[in-house]
Structure 1
Amino acid sequence: MSTYTADLRRTAQDSQHYSTLRTLFITIIIFVLMFVLYFLTQEKQINNVKPAYFYPHWKKKQPPLMACGVPVENDPIVKVTNLKAYMVGSYVEHRQKVKQIRTIAIVLRSENTGYQCILCCNGRTVSVSATHSIHSDHFGFEYGTADIFCKVPEKCPTPTHVAITSRSVKENKTLQDIHAFQPIRNQKKLEVFPYEFTVCISAMYDYVDVLMLVQAMEMFKILGVQRVAIYKTSCHPVTQKVLDYYVSQNFVEIIPWRISSYINVSRGWKKSVSPGELHYFGQIAALNDCVYRYMYQSHYVALQDLDEFILPINLKNWTELLPELERKYNHNVGFEFENNFFPVYMKDPKPGKNTYSPDSWKKVNGLNILEYVYRISNDPTMFNNFKVIVNPRLVFEATVHGLLQSLKGTVRVDHEIARMYHIKNFQKKVVGERSYILDTHLRDYADRLIPAVSNVLQKVLGI
């Protein structure tokens, strides 16, 4: 072999070796780049995950709680098997001479049947007969709110769960007919409460007014409220984001309200105008459940809506107002606050160069309560509706406007001491010939309300 040929072969081998090294080097570089790109992509996705309060349904599904071998349903509504009746909430009634379980229910008023309670006690069931009473404020609808009572027997002094069945069901078949037990709340009669003021809202459905929702929550805080209970059927996804935020702050409790899945509910109070089988999404049952749910959690409860604001006239908040009312009227009564309508068609044409209407708020769906400063005059010779703030331990039956049964009744608060501001969307022809009064009292809270609302909108919605 010539020297020239050997040199060529050596050069070829070197070239092949170099090519192999280059290919390996390029492969390593590509692999490293792909790894870095993958890492950066994953980090971006992790950073873009929204807080948990936006996605409460991501919570790991827990196995169902059981009582006496039967699943436990913590939320309303529990269907009573073979009857047109629905359990809403069950509570120990401490105010009677004989210890009882009171179950707030929604029943078909024409269904003539007897009920029995199945109590769960330390892993075994006890059946006791029950009595029931239908509330009078059913407004002529087929279904109405009812209380189902069962005495606590000596052999079961501290039942933890209850189910309702028909009295005609044979005892040996009872458990076969129970789909779910309901927990019995208010086991202890407390004297000290975690909340001073709780607001009960019922019932939220198809809710889209995001701005007013935030304004209501922040106004409640300014007035001294520590808890808001909302019985929710449905709402807009953006509304849900706001609700999730307040739930994460431990300010709001959402009680799922699915009665419309079982009963044809009305969207109004008058059957001839708004047909259905049950008054206004079962609002009255929800209000009664809220009173009992917070009976030993809150000093006072307010039964109102999100577009209603009970405001003291010369005091700052409810913390100052309620002791003053108790001194003036009586300690053991409920307090009625006269309704005053602020119609949305009377919007302030000049809200002060965005002083009461920040530009950022205009990006959010809903009414701005600070833009409504004209109230419709009330006729003192006529009955004017109201909402109440009351010690819940005085209440037996609540209704939309006031109380049906209570220990000491209610008193109407002088409207010069406090009144309710109600932002209402209705047609002008409904008002008739009543006059309008300029009333800017809501704006007395603007210095605290505006920054609080803006902060929540920015934090939750990025606005």
Structure 2
Amino acid sequence: MGRGILFRRPNKYDMGRVSGRVLRERANMSFCIVIIFFAVFFVIVLTEIFLIDQSSRSRNRRPHSHQKSNYEDAHGEDYLVYQGIAEEGRVGLFARPQYLLPNQLSPFKPNINVSIPAKDGIWQTVVGTRYKFFVFSAYYDWRTTKLIRIMGATKTRGPDRVWCLFWYNASNTTHTVTGKVKVIRENWNLKYSACFVLCPIQGNTTVPDSVSIMGRSVLTPSNRLIVNRATGNKKIQPTPPPDKIGICVKPLHFAYNQTLQMLEFIELNSLLGMDHITFYNDSISSTTDCILRHYMRLGRVTVLPWKLDMASQREIRTEGLFAALNDCLYRSMYKFSFVALIDLDEIVMPKHNDTIQEFIEWMGTRINTKNTGSFSFQNAFFYLQWPDDKSLSNDPFESSLTTLRKTRRRLKLHPHKQRSKYICRPEHVIEAGNHFVWEFIPGHGTVNVPSDAAILNHYRVCEFGGDDCVKSVSVVDRTAFRYKEKLVKRVREKWSQLRQECALSSIEDAQVKKRIVKKLDVNVEKFR
């Protein structure tokens, strides 16, 4: 009997009590783990806030938020005018606070090295800074307030304090003021960014002939930039020449060697009324260099060296392209009435007009463009994986030009501000972006061009890799055929003219090889 009681089998009630106790213990343990997790997280957050606050306080600057890298379409509609309301030193759309230093004279005198030559359009080092700091060019800008605007590249968050040393050739004197570092908004949150260095011209101070930027005002300057100004006569208000249009292209890199594409881009844009193209040379092939030198001799192209000592895509966005775009903007100011900021695989294509000048005039008959600072064009992908246009002849040049071969485009266009490009009036723009203008002179804005008036033809492979893009709903668009005969003639003549000088290959031989490879691919497919 005792043994039966001692070793009796547990009933359901006993098992339920044990199970309930285990569940309560597990619940208590889970609750404790959650409490510990949140406590640790709270300590980490407090520590981060404390460190950031201390760091900001030590520099007498404010902590700043992360910048958005995805630029949403701000409800872009056809003909909608949106204005850039941000001002120098204030927070703009998707922008973080800019670090502006007070206007004051330096109490120190730098060690002047009068032998340092003044240069323009070449990267120079700024000494005395904790992080990399380079400057490229300087421009006199009086549109909102008198200052020297310098194109540079430096630390995105917490840039170094700098000083501006003004040089005056006539009197052989110098003058030092505190500089203001304004990081360009489109920086993708990388370590380094393109930037403006703003050097105020105070009171009756005259415009300097050159300027140096220093991390410490007592150091000998390591750079000296020629100050570009629209006119030598300070009393004359400059005006851009009517109907002259320039193009700004981001830095050429990876030993760029697409010579036929380069010729096609230059000649087609010439047919569209473009007068001049500015390139930035990070790395190009000898053949491309030869072609560009030919156009430089004709005065149709400017090529500036672009060797920026920052790792592209790891430290700074694509060879510091935003410094190049803004340098080109200010370099073109008052030299051209309009400037297009586009890539080599893009063409602004009007639907009803032969030239961009005619298009702009045509737009002026439909809306009031008096305060228009830029025209935005929707992006249309002409994927290179789609088959070539079958209506082309066997002429080796006609069948080789991308804008004639690729006539099938994606039906759905990107909204404005998403992959769009623009043509702007440089004198109305303060800060240029890749896809839209970030900041205008007050009172000016962008007109969104309807797709039935003009679009941006963009010739490229599928943007996300693979070939799935060819499944997109598409339409045949042969608007570029309007220039077919003249374009083929021009490219053929240039190729023949430069073939020996630039060691160009035979287009005819390339076409034969292409047809052989295509035929072999077809035969291989049959046997699979």
Give the TM-score category using the shorter length. Answer: 0.7 to 0.9
Segment drifting more, 367-376 vs 295-304: 367-376
Confirm whether residue 372 of structure 1 aligns to residue 402 of structure 2. Answer: no
What displacement does 1:336 show?
Answer: 0.3
For the residues of structure 2 that align with 1:384 and 1:198, how far apart are their CA atoms?
Answer: 23
Higher strand share: 1
Correspondent of 1:336 among 336, 352, 376: 376
Counterpart position of 1:3: none
Confirm whether residue 434 of structure 1 aligns to residue 472 of structure 2. Answer: yes
Amino acid at match of 1:142: K
Amino acid at match of 2:269: F
Counterpart position of 1:300: 338
Deviations 1:79-111 (A, max 9, x none): 111322111221111202x31111121111234
Give the unaligned 5+ runs of structure 1.
1-65, 267-275
For the residues of structure 2 that align with 1:353 and 1:220, how far apart are their CA atoms?
Answer: 23
For the residues of structure 2 that align with 1:129 and 1:353, how far apart are their CA atoms?
Answer: 64
C-alpha spacing 1:391/1:431, structure 2 compared with 1 (3 Å): same
Deviations 1:394-432 (A, max 9, x none): 100011101110131212101101111111123454527
Correspondent of 1:70 among 107, 116, 140: 116
C-alpha spacing 1:432/1:221, structure 2 compared with 1 (3 Å): closer
Deviations 1:33-85 (A, max 9, x none): xxxxxxxxxxxxxxxxxxxxxxxxxxxxxxxxx99432122222111113221
Confirm whether residue 190 of structure 1 aligns to residue 206 of structure 2. Answer: no
**C-alpha contact (below 8 Å) 2:383/2:408 kept by paired residues:** yes
**C-alpha contact (below 8 Å) 1:351/1:371 kept by paired residues:** no
Counterpart position of 1:401: 435
Amino acid at match of 1:419: I
Amino acid at match of 1:451: K
Deviations 1:351-373 (A, max 9, x none): 43325x438x86xxxx6321101
C-alpha spacing 1:102/1:347, structure 2 compared with 1 (3 Å): same
SS of residue paired to 1:125? strand
For the residues of structure 1 that align with 2:453 and 2:125, how far apart are their CA atoms?
Answer: 45
Counterpart position of 2:359: 321
For the residues of structure 1 that align with 2:499 and 2:478, how far apart are their CA atoms?
Answer: 29
Amino acid at match of 1:190: P
Correspondent of 1:290 among 328, 331, 335: 328
Deviations 1:102-137 (A, max 9, x none): 112111123443211001013221111111211221
Confirm whether residue 410 of structure 1 aligns to residue 453 of structure 2. Answer: no
For the residues of structure 2 that align with 1:382 and 1:190, how far apart are their CA atoms?
Answer: 32
Deviations 1:269-328 (A, max 9, x none): xxxxxxx10001111110000000111211100000111110110111112011122343
C-alpha spacing 1:137/1:299, structure 2 compared with 1 (3 Å): same
Amino acid at match of 1:129: T
**C-alpha contact (below 8 Å) 2:385/2:467 kept by paired residues:** no
Counterpart position of 2:257: 208
SS of residue paired to 2:198? strand
Counterpart position of 1:90: 138
Counterpart position of 2:152: 105
**C-alpha contact (below 8 Å) 1:67/1:161 kept by paired residues:** no
Counterpart position of 1:358: 397
Segment drifting more, 129-138 vs 241-250: 129-138
**C-alpha contact (below 8 Å) 2:248/2:278 kept by paired residues:** yes
For the residues of structure 1 that align with 2:416 and 2:427, how far apart are their CA atoms?
Answer: 31
Counterpart position of 1:44: none
Segment drifting more, 427-436 vs 207-216: 427-436
TM-score (normalised: structure 1): 0.76
For the residues of structure 2 that align with 1:298 and 1:149, how far apart are their CA atoms?
Answer: 24
Counterpart position of 2:125: 79
C-alpha spacing 1:301/1:380, structure 2 compared with 1 (3 Å): closer
SS of residue paired to 2:299? coil
Give the unaligned 5+ runs of structure 2.
1-111, 232-236, 501-505, 507-528
Correspondent of 1:253 among 302, 310, 322: 302
Deviations 1:139-162 (A, max 9, x none): 111111211111224564020100
Deviations 1:364-398 (A, max 9, x none): xxx63211010012157897421000100010001
Amino acid at match of 2:163: Q
For the residues of structure 2 that align with 1:230 and 1:237, how far apart are their CA atoms?
Answer: 15
Counterpart position of 2:387: 347
For the residues of structure 2 that align with 1:325 and 1:182, how far apart are their CA atoms?
Answer: 40
Counterpart position of 2:287: 238
C-alpha spacing 1:237/1:380, structure 2 compared with 1 (3 Å): closer
What displacement does 1:187 show?
Answer: 4.7
TM-score (normalised: structure 2): 0.67
Q: CA RMSD in A?
A: 2.3
**C-alpha contact (below 8 Å) 1:90/1:101 kept by paired residues:** yes
SS of residue paired to 1:298? coil
What displacement does 1:332 show?
Answer: 2.2
Confirm whether residue 309 of structure 1 aligns to residue 352 of structure 2. Answer: no
Counterpart position of 1:48: none
For the residues of structure 1 that align with 2:390 and 2:470, how far apart are their CA atoms?
Answer: 25
What displacement does 1:441 show?
Answer: 1.1
SS of residue paired to 2:250? strand
